[in-house]
C-alpha cells in the first residue's frame, strides 16, 4: 500500500480511533515515510495526540511543552466569546495547538474556524502578549499534563455564524464583569483585562 493511501485511511478514522492507534502500528507506518509525509500524518492525527502516541507507555507521564495560540474575540457590545469545553466542562477561549509548519497566525485562524465557525483575516489579528510559564500548565481528564506557550490575540473583526464543533458544548459572549466562575483560561483573561485597562 502506498503511503498516500495509508494517510487517506487514517484521515477517515474517527478522532477516538486516531487516539487509539498503537505505538507499534505507528512505528510500522512511519518507517518508510518521508519527513513531509510524517508532518502530514501529524496534522491528520493532531500534533499533541501524535506526540503522545509516539511516546508509547510514557504518553501520559511525560509533561509536554507545546505551542499554540488563543484568541479574545470581542463583539460590538464589548463582550468576549467563550466556549464551554467538551473535555472538562470549563469555559475557555477559542484556540489550540500549533501544527507542524504552521505560523501562530495560521494556527489561531484555523482554530477559530474549527471551534466557532467564524472567519478571521490575518490583518485583523492584534497580538496582545506571549504568555508562558507556570500559569500555562494544564491537566486534562485523560491524564495529559502540558505547559503551553501561548500567543494571545485580540480580534474585533470577524464574520460568519457561531457553530459548535465536537470540542465545544456551548459558545457564548460574556461581559467582562459577569464571567463564569469555572474558567479554563483565567490567566489569559487577566492579561486581556490588563491590556484593555492600559489602552483606555
Q: Which residues are catalytic?
A: 170
Same domain, 149 and 173: yes
Q: What is the mean pLDDT of residues 98-121?
A: 96
| pLDDT reported for residue 165 | 86
Same domain, 51 and 73: no
Same domain, 42 and 140: no
Same domain, 144 and 117: yes
Query: Contact at 8 Å (CB) between 72 and 93?
Result: yes
Same domain, 79 and 134: yes
Cα–Cα distance measured from residue 71 to residue 88, given in angstroms and rounded to the nearest whole number: 19
Q: What is the mean pLDDT of residues 140-165?
A: 92
Q: For the whole model, what pTM was predicted?
A: 0.84
Same domain, 104 and 122: yes
Cα–Cα distance measured from residue 166 to residue 157, given in angstroms and rounded to the nearest whole number: 24
Same domain, 54 and 69: no
What pLDDT digit, counting tens, does each position of 48-72 carry?
899 999 988 888 888 889 999 999 9
| Domain that residue 43 falls in | 3-58
Confidence of residue 139 (pLDDT cuts 50, 70, 90): confident
| pLDDT reported for residue 4 | 92
Residue entry with cell 506557550: 149
Amino acid at each position: 500500500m502506498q503511503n498516500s493511501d495509508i494517510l487517506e485511511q487514517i484521515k477517515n478514522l474517527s478522532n477516538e480511533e486516531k487516539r487509539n492507534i498503537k505505538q507499534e502500528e505507528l512505528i510500522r507506518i512511519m518507517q518508510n515515510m518521508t519527513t513531509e509525509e510524517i508532518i502530514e500524518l501529524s496534522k491528520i492525527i493532531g500534533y499533541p495526540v501524535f506526540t503522545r502516541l509516539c511516546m508509547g507507555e510514557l504518553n501520559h507521564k511525560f509533561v509536554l511543552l507545546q505551542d499554540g495560540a488563543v484568541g479574545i474575540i470581542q463583539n460590538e457590545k464589548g463582550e468576549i466569546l467563550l466556549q464551554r469545553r467538551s473535555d472538562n466542562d470549563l469555559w475557555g477561549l477559542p484556540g489550540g495547538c500549533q501544527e507542524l509548519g504552521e505560523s501562530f497566525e495560521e494556527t489561531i485562524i484555523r482554530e477559530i474556524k474549527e471551534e466557532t465557525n467564524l472567519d478571521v483575516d490575518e490583518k485583523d489579528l492584534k497580538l496582545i502578549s506571549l504568555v508562558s510559564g507556570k500559569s500555562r500548565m494544564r491537566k486534562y481528564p485523560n491524564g495529559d499534563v502540558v505547559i503551553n506557550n501561548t500567543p494571545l490575540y485580540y480580534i474585533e473583526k470577524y464574520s460568519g455564524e457561531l457553530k459548535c464543533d465536537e470540542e465545544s458544548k456551548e459558545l457564548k459572549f460574556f461581559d467582562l464583569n459577569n464571567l463564569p466562575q469555572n474558567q479554563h483560561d483565567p490567566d489569559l483573561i487577566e492579561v486581556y483585562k490588563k491590556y484593555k485597562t492600559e489602552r483606555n
